[in-house]
Amino acid sequence: MAKVLVVDDEKFICEEFRDLMAEDGHDVDIAFNGQEALKKVAERDYHVIFLDVLLPRMEGRQIFEEIKKIKKVPVVFMSGYLPPNKEKEALSLGALACLKKPLDLEQVKKIIDDASR
């Protein structure tokens, strides 16, 4: 079982992600903004974090930089539109992967399984 944090301002995406991963026995927390995500990261250990690139008030990159200051945890960026230059930038910053929405469920499961080992 993996502990996963999903950070996205779209409630449906978060709940769908949580429900699908719970079926595989994973423990999924949800945060709808950067402040909430950083609070959860400070309070709990995660195997992997799925982080939306575009969020209100605090963009994914800013959240990612703050997460790295708190704990070492793999972060996967996700976005409905991720240009190649932004994907390269995210990977160069240390992101584990960049996924495009809608997410490929099998790819997500593989990332979670790999991160929890």
Domain CATH for 103: 3.40.50.2300
- pLDDT for 20-60, tens place per residue? 999 999 999 999 999 999 999 999 999 999 999 888 889 89
Please state whether the peptide bond connecting residue 102 to the residue before it is cis, i.e. omega within 30 degrees of 0. Answer: yes
Cβ atoms of 66 and 93 within 8 Å: the answer is: no
Whether 83 shows a pLDDT value over 80: the answer reads: no
Domain count for the chain, please give it.
1
Containing structural domain, residue 42: 3-115
Helix 11-23 with 105-115: angle, nearest 10 deg: 60
* Per-residue pLDDT at 36: 96
pTM of the entire structure? 0.94
* Per-residue pLDDT at 90: 85
